[in-house]
Every structure is written in C-alpha cells, then in structure tokens.
C-alpha cells in the first residue's frame, strides 16, 4: 500500500514550527530517530501519570512511557519528592562515589540473588557493550552471537543485524572486521541456532539475547530455546548474556529470567532501575565482574568506563525509590499491570476481528505489541514480523493516526504503567476500533 500520511493539523502548529527550527540545527530534526514520525513529531511540554501534553496543549494517553522507563507512571510523586529533596539538600552531580550507589547495588542484589556484583554505567547501550567485553575477556574468545532483530543500543559491535534487512550494513563508519566478529542467529529456532553454534564453537565468547525482543516485536523467547542455548554455550565454554534493559524489574522483580526460570551468566538492566533517570547496570558473578576491578592493571583488566554521569546520585535516589516500592508492593503491582495489559491486548484483537483486520498481539506482563498481518501467521521472531506484517507503515501513517486521536504508541508497541487506568485502556480500544475502520479501506 502507498504511504498516505495524516495531514498536518492546525492543532499542532507550534510543534510544526519547532520542527522546522529543529531541521536547521539538528540532522533530520531529531536526536533519536525513533522519535520522528510524519509529517512531524509533536513536541512535549509536560507529563503526568499515564498522560503527556504537547506544546499546543493536546493530551495523549502515553504507552511509550519514556522508552518504557516509567513503570509507576510519569512524574511519579514519590520520585519527584525524593529527588527534589535530595537536590535541594545535597546537590545533584558529585562526580565521586556516594552512599546511594552502594545502597542501590545492595538492593538490586537482594532481589537478583543469583548474582554477586554489579557495575553501574549511564545507559543500557553501555551496559550491553561492557557485558560483551567482559565475556570476551573471561573466555578468551572473540565472536559474539546475537539475535536477528535484537537491539542492544547503537554500539559498534552490537548494532549488526538490528533492523531489516538484517544482512545489510547498519551504518557507515563501522569497519568490516568489527562485523566479522558478530554472528547473527535466529530467534526461537533452536535447530538453526545450534547449527550456527557448532560451526563457530571454538571462537564463540558469548551470546547476547533480549529474552523478550524489544524493537523486534515484544516477542518472548520460548523457554526451551533459552534452556538449550545456555546448555550449549556452557558445553563450548561460552557465556549467556541476557539484555533485560526493558524487561528488568518490569515483567517481574527478577525480570524475564525469573519469570521463565533461566538464569544467564551476565545480565544487563536499565530504565526502571534508574527510576526514570539515566542508568545502565551490568550484573554477574564475582569471578566475572572482578575482571573490571580497579585493583587490576593493564593488560589484565576489563575497562568499564562508566562515564561522567555514572552513579550520579539523582539516578541512584530515583532507582532506590522505585525499586523499594516494587519490592514492598510487587504482589499487587505486577498482577495489576498484567491484567490491564491483557485487557488491552484482547480488546484490540476483538475490535480488529470485528472489522475483518488480521491482528496478533505479542508481549508479556505489562508489555504489548500490535501486529497487523498481511496473512494469518504466528509471530515468533523478528523475521516473522518483516515477513508477515505491515511493518513499514507502523511508524508512519499508523502512528500518525493514533497520535492525531490522542494515543502515543511507538512501533505499535507499549508498556502499561501503574498509573494507567481502565478508562485509559477502554479509550485506547475505542481509538483502535476507529483506526481499524480507517485501515480497512487501505489494505
């Protein structure tokens, strides 16, 4: 189908003018490509709970939730209070060690008790890159397995195969020999994955996997796939890394690894554990993590350069506030999130069916993704998304339609927060009902 983008609206004139200004000083008008959609993105003025408001005063039910960082909702009052008090009384960037980083590390490990040490950095992208560096150092091998369609940030090593077509080079400026050490494997296809491992078994340092694919479609890994992967990697002396930057502390206190019962050798987390402020965390056992200790010297150490803002106390305070709440009230919060998200998934599928639109929803816990199908098919991998769905339109006219009707949803994906209500979900299902009527005339 041809691209028939929603026309620019008088209701977002201020956003239009800001975008025209941005185009003059920022390449493409945005500093993160996913934030653009046609004809121009709305510029956000403020946020609260489950809602965001743009600079023209329009309100949207938000399912992007700060790149899925806000499990308790935007501007969570307990975080606002804790951070404001801290800044007023103690400052906001020390650039030195602080009490709160020790407390957050201890709190994380009290929950993720299969592990022994953590190291903080400033983003999930950093955490993934450093985790791979640790695995290579620990095993003495070079090659990394990663899933087709897996996203671990825009690091030089791990960007390979992140978007379709997976075999094409993702970016200029990356040397070919860097890509030679990253091997793509299919998701939820153990037979082919095992074949690839056997072909490269003497050189593989690790496999890095989002156990629930993020930008690849919020598709959960089959338990057998992960069990087999860990077992096979151990047989060849390689490590399993789970990238749970999105799912950590979201689908359960122990993330997806705790939800499904498969423990990786190294875990990366972020987003929620920073309470909505910048953070990345590498979590593993003492023997692996101590390779990065400052007590080791060149050439026997792994450099994890946390960055100027690593362990900044504001992120630590915000993270402590949210994680403590999840620990104390998780038995109420997690089921509530899962039930509300299931209501949304089921409601969207029902209204799609009533309009004759083929739809599958994927996700786990409070995460969901809407797949609009070209043909009836199960969605088990990122390859399936690109093979069977109208994926090209997702961040074009589909996203534009939803935004124009008061719903902010990137990639037709979303994360329910504890601030979302039944009324939000019912209104969103109503918008999808209208959207599918509009879509029926176009596919």
Tokens of 209: 């996997």
pLDDT digits (tens, 9 = 90+) for 60-105: 999 999 999 999 999 999 999 999 999 999 999 999 999 999 999 9
pLDDT digits (tens, 9 = 90+) for 137-163: 999 999 999 999 999 998 888 999 999
How many Cα neighbours within 13 Å face the side chain of 136? 16
pLDDT digits (tens, 9 = 90+) for 325-376: 999 999 999 999 999 999 999 999 999 999 999 999 999 999 999 999 999 9
Between 76-90, 280-294, 301-315, the lowest mean confidence (pLDDT) is in 301-315
pLDDT on residue 7: 61
What is the mean predicted confidence (pLDDT) over 229-237? 98
DSSP code at position 398: I
SS3 207: strand
pLDDT surpassing 60 at residue 384:
yes
pLDDT digits (tens, 9 = 90+) for 104-143: 999 999 999 999 999 999 999 999 999 999 999 999 999 9
How many Cα neighbours within 13 Å face the side chain of 217? 29
Distance of CA 440 to the CA centre of its chain: 31
Interatomic CA distance for residues 6 and 68, integer angstroms: 26
pLDDT surpassing 50 at residue 3:
no
pLDDT digits (tens, 9 = 90+) for 404-430: 999 999 999 999 999 999 999 999 999
pLDDT surpassing 80 at residue 1:
no
* Structural domains for the chain: 10-75+331-440 (3.90.1150.10), 77-325 (3.40.640.10)
């Amino acid at each position: 189908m041809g691209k028939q983008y929603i026309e620019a609206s008088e209701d977002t004139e201020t956003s239009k003018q800001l975008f025209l200004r941005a185009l003059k000083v920022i390449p493409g008008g945005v500093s993160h490509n996913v934030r653009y959609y046609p004809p121009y993105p709305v510029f956000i003025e403020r946020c609260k709970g489950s809602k965001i408001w743009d600079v023209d005063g329009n309100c949207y039910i938000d399912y992007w939730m700060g790149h899925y960082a806000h499990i308790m909702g935007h501007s969570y009052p307990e975080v606002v209070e804790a951070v404001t008090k801290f800044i007023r009384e103690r400052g906001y960037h020390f650039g030195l060690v602080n009490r709160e980083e020790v407390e957050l590390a201890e709190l994380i490990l009290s929950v993720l008790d299969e592990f022994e040490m953590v190291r903080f950095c400033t983003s999930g992208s950093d955490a993934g890159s450093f985790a791979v560096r640790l695995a290579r150092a620990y095993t003495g091998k070079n090659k990394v397995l990663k899933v087709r369609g897996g996203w671990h940030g825009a690091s030089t090593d791990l960007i390979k195969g992140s978007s379709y077509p997976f075999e094409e080079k993702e970016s200029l400026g990356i040397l070919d020999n860097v890509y030679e050490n990253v091997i793509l494997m299919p998701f939820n296809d153990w037979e082919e994955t095992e074949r690839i491992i056997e072909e490269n078994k003497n050189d593989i340092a690790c496999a890095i996997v989002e156990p629930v694919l993020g930008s690849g479609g919020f598709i959960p890994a089959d338990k057998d796939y992960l069990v087999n992967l860990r077992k096979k990697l151990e047989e060849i002396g390689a490590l399993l890394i789970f990238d749970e930057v999105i799912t950590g502390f979201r689908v359960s206190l122990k993330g997806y690894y705790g939800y499904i019962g498969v423990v990786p050798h190294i875990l990366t987390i972020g987003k929620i554990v920073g309470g909505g402020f910048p953070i990345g965390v590498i979590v593993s056992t003492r023997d692996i993590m101590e390779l990065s200790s400052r007590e080791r010297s060149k050439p026997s150490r792994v450099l994890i350069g946390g960055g100027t803002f690593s362990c900044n106390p504001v992120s630590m305070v915000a993270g402590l506030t949210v994680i403590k709440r999840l620990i104390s009230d998780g038995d109420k919060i997690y089921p509530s999130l899962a039930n509300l998200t299931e209501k949304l998934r089921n409601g969207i599928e029902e209204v799609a069916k009533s309009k004759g639109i083929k739809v599958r929803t994927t996700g786990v816990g409070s995460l969901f993704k809407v797949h609009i199908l070209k043909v009836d098919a199960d969605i088990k991998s990122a390859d399936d998304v690109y093979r069977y769905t109208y994926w090209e339109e997702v961040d074009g006219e589909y996203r534009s339609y939803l935004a124009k009707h008061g719903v902010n949803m990137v990639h037709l994906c979303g994360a329910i927060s504890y601030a979302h209500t039944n009324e939000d979900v019912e209104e969103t299902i109503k918008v999808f009902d209208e959207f599918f009527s509009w879509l029926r005339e176009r596919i």
